[in-house]
Amino acid sequence: MKSFTKYTTATLLTLGLLTGCGRDFLSESPTDQVTDENFYKTTTDAIQATTAIYSELGKGGQYNQALWSLGDIGSDISYTGGGGGGDGIEQQQLDNFNIPATNPIVSRLWGGCYIGIGRANIVLQKVPAMSIDPAIQKRSIGEAQFLRAKYYFDLVRAYGDVPLLTTPPTTPEEVNVARSPAADVYALIVKDLTDAIDNLPISYSGDDLGRATKWAATGLLAKVYLTQGNMAGAAQRAREVIASSGKSLWANYGDNFKVANEYGREALFEVGYISGRNEYTFDGLGFVGNEFFGPRGQGIVPQGGYGFNIPENDFVAGYEPGDLRRDVTIWEPGDEYPDGRTQPATLPGSPNGYGCKKWFVGKVNTNVWDSELNIPVLRLAEIYLIQAEAEGPTASGLEAINKVRRRAFGEDINTPGSHDLRAGLSADEFKRAVWRERKYELAFENDRWFDSKRTGELLTAPQYLRKGVKPFNVVLPIPQSELDVNSGLTQNPGY
């Protein structure tokens, strides 16, 4: 099941990509035996080229550093933690909304997205003209469309207007492009996902588990529509996924975050990881969260734990009594460790004694960072919450959020429960209830900063105001490294 994840850039050799991303597009050798002319001939070539688009998802420019640093630490649910001082300074800058254009995470997110986009553009240029298995050809085009949309969605939400490239550049002049309006970027995202829905299969098996499906594209389109404020489109696409994808909620919330359940009943799309390579890098094939988020110095992960991504007091206090998600999500004083010890009242780097527990695997081997636990990009629970927010307090909107709430409190998902939201809420009350539910259902799943920006809470919630958030922080700075080499770029105001 994990072998799909092992593919990298294979033997691809391509033209340069965009500024800031062509430098590490190809790391495989030998580079003198594979060329753009003799590749893209066989079905296997198409599969390898398409698989290479996925590889950036698992690296530091996406889920292995940038997205949890921005989406979690840069939000109101957690603060940096770590060892203090200069430890994690790049996360501290995001946490305190004092973000220079030289911040490494800002640069990694930009670069990682454009590496993926560059690879997708090559597939979309080359694969349609190949004489190969028609089913693989169609699927590969759909995967490239889905992934290009996903990378552009992260870019436009994080930076606003961004350069819009849809074909591989062939000259230096084509690299130095200006930023396109966000509306144009969203138009491409919607088109790519709409086309991908028609091109992708409904499911996979065996070694292909983890590739994008029709339902992953449909679910992501629902989320894009929600972000744009297209509530009718969001509701329609969410209902399609719920009715036809064959996915269902786990009865137990914690089952979403177990290695044994990867690509399971609730997963629409996940980033796959493997372990056992002893890789001490954000760009390895394993996820760093087990070590980075492990309680600092407690010895329950291979290197003792670094204690980053600490749940904030206000967030912890906001759990409703009886919410079972709390124990899955948070380490807190008195919790029992796997070796029988209990967590102390305070931890190094965490004066409140809390820690991020959701991605804990433990000492599965002697390696450092390479946890094999997958990271969800889209789960069915989020689709229910998209439906609820998009529909408002209708009967079906209420039922959608209540299914998520029933599970949170250990009740039968399909039976009205004691924690259901009731009819009679105003549209605004219901909307805010859905926002709150997203905060706790999707906690530490890399999305809170994006949600806070979308809902307006980033500039109004007391938790953010205490951190010193400023109006221009609704977008990140354009990386200084890109401004230095691309004369067509301009900086976001305020930076």
Q: Where are the beta strands (DSSP E) in 179-283?
A: 267-271
Of residues 349 and 1, the one with the higher pLDDT is 349
Q: Which domain holds residue 413?
A: 208-218+228-258+375-463
Total domains in the fold of the chain? 3
What is the per-residue pLDDT across 153-170, written as a single tens digit (0 to 9) for each?
Answer: 999 999 999 999 999 988
Handedness of CA 44, 271, 196, 192 (dihedral sign): negative
Q: Assess if residue 67 is contained within a domain.
A: yes
What pLDDT score does 86 carry? 79
What pLDDT score does 482 carry? 96
Task: Give the alpha-carbon dihedral of 130, 135, 141, 143, to 10 degrees.
Answer: -140
pLDDT at 242 over 70: yes
Note whether 301 and 350 are same-domain residues: yes
Note whether 391 and 449 are same-domain residues: yes
What pLDDT score does 11 carry? 33
Note whether 242 and 390 are same-domain residues: yes
Q: What is the CA radius of gyration of the chain?
A: 22
Sequence length of the chain is 495
Q: Assess if residue 412 is contained within a domain.
A: yes
pLDDT at 453 over 80: yes
Please give the average per-residue pLDDT across 140-145, as a whole number: 98
Tokens of 425: 């809420």
Q: Assess if residue 470 is contained within a domain.
A: no
Handedness of CA 356, 361, 364, 369 (dihedral sign): negative
Note whether 238 and 287 are same-domain residues: no
pLDDT at 332 over 80: yes
pLDDT at 3 over 60: no
pLDDT at 203 over 80: yes
pLDDT at 111 over 70: yes
Where would I find the H helices in 80-177? 89-95, 104-126, 134-159, 172-175
Question: Which pLDDT band holds residue 369 (cuts at 50, 70, 90)?
Answer: confident
Q: Assess if residue 323 is contained within a domain.
A: yes
Note whether 250 and 305 are same-domain residues: no
Residue 453 three-state SS: helix
Tokens of 223: 């989320």
Query: Rounded CA gap, 174 and 282, in Å?
Result: 30
Provide the CATH number for the domain around residue 440.
1.25.40.900
Note whether 64 and 116 are same-domain residues: yes
Note whether 120 and 151 are same-domain residues: yes
What pLDDT score does 205 carry? 94
Note whether 112 and 155 are same-domain residues: yes
Question: Which pLDDT band holds residue 174 (cuts at 50, 70, 90)?
Answer: confident
Note whether 66 and 110 are same-domain residues: yes
Note whether 117 and 232 are same-domain residues: no
pLDDT at 4 over 80: no
Note whether 281 and 145 are same-domain residues: no
What is the per-residue pLDDT across 40-94, written as a single tens digit (0 to 9) for each?
Answer: 999 999 999 999 999 999 999 999 999 999 999 999 999 999 987 778 999 999 9
Q: Assess if residue 368 is contained within a domain.
A: yes
What is the per-residue pLDDT across 26-44, written as a single tens digit (0 to 9) for each?
Answer: 233 344 455 666 789 999 9
Note whether 107 and 15 are same-domain residues: yes
pTM of the model: 0.94
CA angle 220/241/432 to nearest 5° reads 70
Amino acid at 352: N
Mean pLDDT, the chain, integer: 91
Least confident of 1-10, 29-38, 287-296, 462-471: 1-10
pLDDT at 20 over 60: no
What pLDDT score does 50 carry? 97
Q: Assess if residue 479 is contained within a domain.
A: no
- Residues near 125 by Cβ (< 8 Å), separated by ≥ 6? 167, 168
Provide the CATH number for the domain around residue 91.
1.25.40.390
pLDDT at 411 over 70: yes
Least confident of 18-27, 285-294, 352-361, 476-485: 18-27
Q: Assess if residue 472 is contained within a domain.
A: no
